[in-house]
């Protein structure tokens, strides 16, 4: 049996009530972020009133330390925060799939070498590895994306390897090999579609780690220019202002939590479907 | 069993050596940035900088520095901080106690809460206690520490005035950070507990136990829990690696002393020896814990040592 990629998507998305809520939440967050220039009431960098204002009609979520509008900064903050997450996840998924699948498929020394290096990276606690990379690269959005990407890579590559290694000996792979399908085509056309659902659900798990870790690095002060809105940076500012303006931490914290929770739910549901199918 | 333990120890030693080498190489590609920057700001001449680098051994070829570092490591010497010029082992030693206290207390919270939630979820799948436990565990997993922490500070110290918001030292200072860090970690423990328990619950021998009429409570306590505990313990042990990273954020949040604060400071200052020292220490701790739990797992569960060796 061989699923074309289109079917995999349908298989994950269709007829799943449990997926509707998290998908709707994610769509709302992404839409609100991309449409920030249109729907945000103020310029996120501009000082629009007194600092530390409680929520009012003019400022629905109040104002921050400098008197900037918290709602506008949260909407715009998604642009940097989510871009970092997307770049980080791309750094995890693209090399992770290639490395993990080749290790699992070819076995022998390719497998040993690749997995030994992944094991070494896995022995560093995740956030610590990211901090080492930040030490080398310095602060900034790109730097955070690269750091969380590399830190998340080994766990993903390991999953991709295991999934491929267990599918490699399936009967349909033997059959394809017997009729003379070449290795690279075997990998891309026969193995990949079958491990894809599992890879997708672990990619979602990686995405939730990437969100939490990248916001943590921004929170710790490695985000570069602090005037550019970012959820992690906003939480750091709110932490220092919690006595005077406790409401400051609610919008960015809620945005991070909603994103991570929706993605986790998505991973759960697709994993369950995958388990039911096999 | 002895072979299993020996192989596992050997591969762990190799992994730790690989970690040290990788971190050393990465942090020495760009040599002595922090020193040059700091000394130039202080108005030092090129000769002064060269002399300082020579004193730290940074003028020697990289392989020599590497061998010296490894030799020092075996004696527990982690080199000297570029900034404070104190031995890295002293700097770490001063902060270690606070972090170990925090991590241990957080682990206690995480295990108690995580196991409880996971068992509730598995035992009452579909019913409201199970759903509630499931929601709490996903929430724990998804809320960032730096958000729950801020909320906890606001509620318990600003509003109710029960506990101090910042600082370290007494038990009162430990409660909030440990609860916040432990709550987050409990999420993943709960989920793994639930998954493992549900898997065991549908095993054939459980069906047999039910078929021969054993009471449900008894089956759960004796058959299901006993078979599930070893893999759950393994996962709990692996969370300790996460606790080390989470401690950094928690310490920053609550302005506590500790390794995490030391690390964040060192990353900002590009104080490579301190970063390297902490990385080496945590890789060592993490690997030791994982090898010890693997061997324990092997002792508790014969299937592991036969397949794993």
pLDDT tens-place string over residues B80-129: 888 888 999 999 999 998 999 999 999 999 999 999 999 998 888 778 88
Beta bridge partner(s), residue A63: A69
Q: pTM of the full predicted structure?
A: 0.86
Looking at residue A142, what is its pLDDT?
93
Query: Which pLDDT does position A259 carry in this prediction?
Result: 95
- If you average pLDDT over residues B265-285, what whole number do you get? 88
User: CB–CB of B141/B191 below 8 Å?
Assistant: yes
Please answer yes or no on whether B283 and A123 come within 8 Å at the CB atom.
yes
Contact call for residues A89 and A148 (beta carbons, < 8 A): no
Taking the Cβ of residue B189 and every Cβ of chain A, the question of whether any pair is shorter than 8 Å is answered with no
Instruction: Give residue for tokens 């700091």.
Output: B38
* Rg, C-alpha atoms of chain A: 22
Q: How far is CA A8 from each of CA A2, A169, A267, B53, B293, rounded to the nearest angstrom?
A: 10, 21, 14, 58, 38
Task: Compare all CA atoms of chain B with the CA of A261 and give the residue at the minimum distance.
Answer: B142
For chain B, the first-to-last Cα distance in angstroms comes to: 8
Closest CA to B122 of B237, B214, B215, B232: B232
User: Who has greater pLDDT, B47 or B207?
Assistant: B207
3-state DSSP call for residue B86?
coil
Would the pLDDT of B268 be above 80? yes
Q: Give the residue on A whose Cα is nearest the Cα of B23.
A: A132
* Position B308 confidence tier, pLDDT thresholds 50, 70, 90: very low
pLDDT in tens, B204-253: 888 888 888 888 888 888 888 888 888 888 888 878 878 878 888 899 88
CA distance, residue A195 to nearest chain B CA (Å): 21
Give the Cα separation of A76 and A78 in Å (integer).
5
Total CB pairs under 8 A between chain A and B? 131
Confidence at residue B309, expressed as pLDDT on a 0 to 100 scale: 38
To the nearest whole Å, the CA of A138 is away from the closest chain B CA by 8
For chain A, say whether B130 makes contact (Cβ under 8 Å).
Answer: no
What string of H, E and C letters represents the secondary structure of chain A?
CCCCHHHHHHHHHCCCHHHHHHHHHHHHHHHHHHCHHHHCCCCCCCCCCCCCCCCCCCCCCCECCCCCEHHHHHHHHHHHHHHHHHHHHHHHHHHHHHHHHHHHHHCHHHHHHHHHHHHHHHCCCHHHHHHHHHHHHCCCHHHHHHHHHHHHHHHHHHHHHHHHHHHCCCHHHHHHHHCCCCHHHHHHHHHHHHHHHHHHHHHHHHHHHHHHHHHHHHHCCCCCCCCCCCHHHHHHHHHHCCCCCHHHHHHHHHHHHHHHHHHHHHHHHHHHHHHHHC
**Cβ contacts (< 8 Å) between B30 and chain A: which residues?**
136
Contact of B51 with B35, CB cutoff 8 Å: no
Report chain B residues whose CB lies below 8 A from the CB of A74: none
**B147 closest CB neighbour out of A131, A257, A264:** A257
Residue count (chain B): 309
B260 in A contact zone (CB under 8 Å): no
Beta-carbon contacts of A97 under 8 Å, excluding residues fewer than 6 positions away, are A156, A160, A192, A199
To the nearest whole Å, the CA of B226 is away from the closest chain A CA by 25
What pLDDT score was predicted for residue A91?
96
The SS3 call for residue B198 is: helix
Cβ–Cβ contact B282 with A under 8 A: yes
Beta carbons of B268 and A221 less than 8 Å apart:
yes
Interface test with B, best of A123, A153, A235, A241 (most B CBs within 10 A): A123
- For residues B262-287, average pLDDT: 88
Distance between A179 CA and the closest CA of chain B, angstroms: 34
Quote the minimal CA–CA distance from B144 to chain A in Å. 6
Interface pTM, i.e. ipTM:
0.84
Of A135, A242, A257, the CB nearest to B143: A257
More confident residue, A198 or B158: A198
Write the pLDDT tens digit of every residue in B2-38. Answer: 777 888 888 888 888 998 898 888 888 765 556 666 6
Does A220 contact B252 at a Cβ distance shorter than 8 Å?
Answer: yes
**Which of B142, B150, B264 lies nearest to residue A260, judging by beta carbons?**
B142
Instruction: Mark yes or no for CB contact A128/B249 under 8 Å.
Output: no
- pLDDT beneath 50: ranges in chain A: 1, 278
Mean pLDDT of chain B, nearest integer:
84
Residues on chain A touching B270 (C-beta within 8 angstroms)? 135
Smallest CA–CA distance, residue B217 to chain A, in Å, is 27
pLDDT at B30: 67
pLDDT at A262: 93
- Residue B263 near chain A (CB below 8 Å): yes
Which residue of B lies nearest to A214 if distances are taken between CA atoms?
A: B144
- What does the alpha-carbon distance between residue A52 and residue A56 come to, in Å, rounded to a whole number? 11
């Amino acid at each position: 049996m061989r699923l074309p990629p289109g079917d995999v998507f349908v298989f994950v998305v269709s007829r799943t009530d449990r997926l509707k809520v998290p998908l709707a939440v994610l769509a709302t967050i992404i839409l609100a972020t991309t449409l920030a220039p249109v729907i945000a009431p103020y310029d996120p960098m501009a000082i629009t009133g007194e600092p530390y204002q409680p929520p009012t009609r003019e400022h629905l979520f109040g104002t921050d330390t400098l008197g900037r509008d918290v709602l506008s900064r949260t909407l715009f903050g998604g642009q940097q925060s989510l871009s970092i997450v997307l770049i980080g996840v791309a750094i995890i998924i693209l090399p992770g799939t290639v490395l993990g699948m080749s290790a699992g498929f070819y076995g022998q020394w390719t497998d040993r070498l690749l997995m030994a290096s992944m094991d070494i990276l896995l022995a560093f606690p995740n956030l610590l590895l990211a901090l080492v990379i930040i030490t080398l690269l310095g602060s900034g959005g790109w730097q955070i994306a690269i750091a969380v990407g590399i830190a998340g890579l080994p766990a993903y590559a390991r999953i991709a390897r295991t999934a491929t290694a267990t599918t490699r000996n399936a009967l349909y792979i033997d059959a394809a090999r017997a009729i003379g399908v070449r290795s690279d085509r075997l990998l891309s056309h026969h193995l990949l579609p079958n491990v894809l659902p599992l890879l997708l659900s672990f990619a979602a798990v990686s995405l939730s780690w990437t969100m939490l870790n990248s916001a943590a690095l921004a929170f710790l002060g490695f985000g570069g220019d602090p005037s550019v809105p970012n959820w992690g940076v906003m939480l750091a500012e709110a932490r220092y202002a919690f006595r005077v303006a406790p409401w400051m931490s609610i919008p960015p914290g809620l945005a991070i939590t909603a994103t991570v929770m929706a993605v986790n739910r998505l991973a759960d549901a697709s994993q369950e479907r995958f388990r039911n199918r096999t | 069993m002895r072979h299993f333990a020996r192989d596992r120890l050997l591969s762990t030693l190799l992994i730790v050596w690989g970690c040290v080498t990788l971190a050393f190489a990465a942090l020495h590609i760009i040599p002595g940035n922090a020193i040059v920057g700091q000394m130039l700001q202080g108005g030092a001449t090129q000769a002064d900088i060269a002399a300082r680098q020579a004193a730290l051994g940074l003028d020697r070829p990289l392989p020599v520095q590497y061998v010296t570092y490894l030799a020092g490591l075996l004696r527990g010497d982690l080199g000297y901080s570029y900034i404070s010029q104190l031995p890295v082992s002293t700097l770490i030693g001063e902060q270690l106690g606070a972090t170990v206290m925090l991590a241990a207390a957080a682990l206690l919270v995480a295990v108690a809460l995580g196991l409880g939630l996971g068992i509730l979820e598995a035992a009452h799948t579909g019913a409201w206690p199970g759903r509630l436990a499931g929601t709490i565990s996903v929430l724990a997993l998804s809320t960032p520490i730096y958000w729950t922490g801020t909320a906890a500070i606001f509620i318990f110290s600003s509003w109710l005035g029960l506990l101090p918001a910042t600082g370290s030292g007494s038990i009162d200072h430990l409660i909030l950070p440990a609860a916040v860090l432990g709550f987050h970690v409990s999420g993943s423990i709960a989920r793994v507990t639930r998954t493992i328990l549900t898997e065991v619950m549908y095993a054939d021998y459980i069906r047999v136990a039910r078929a021969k009429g054993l009471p449900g409570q008894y089956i759960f306590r004796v058959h299901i829990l006993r078979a599930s505990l070893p893999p759950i313990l393994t996962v709990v042990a692996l969370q300790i690696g996460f606790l080390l990273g989470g401690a950094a954020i928690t310490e920053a949040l609550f302005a506590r002393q500790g390794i995490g604060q030391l690390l964040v400071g060192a990353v900002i200052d590009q104080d490579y020896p301190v970063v390297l020292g902490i990385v080496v220490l945590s890789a060592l701790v993490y690997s030791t814990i994982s090898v010890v739990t693997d061997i324990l797992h092997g002792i508790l569960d014969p299937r592991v040592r036969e397949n794993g060796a």
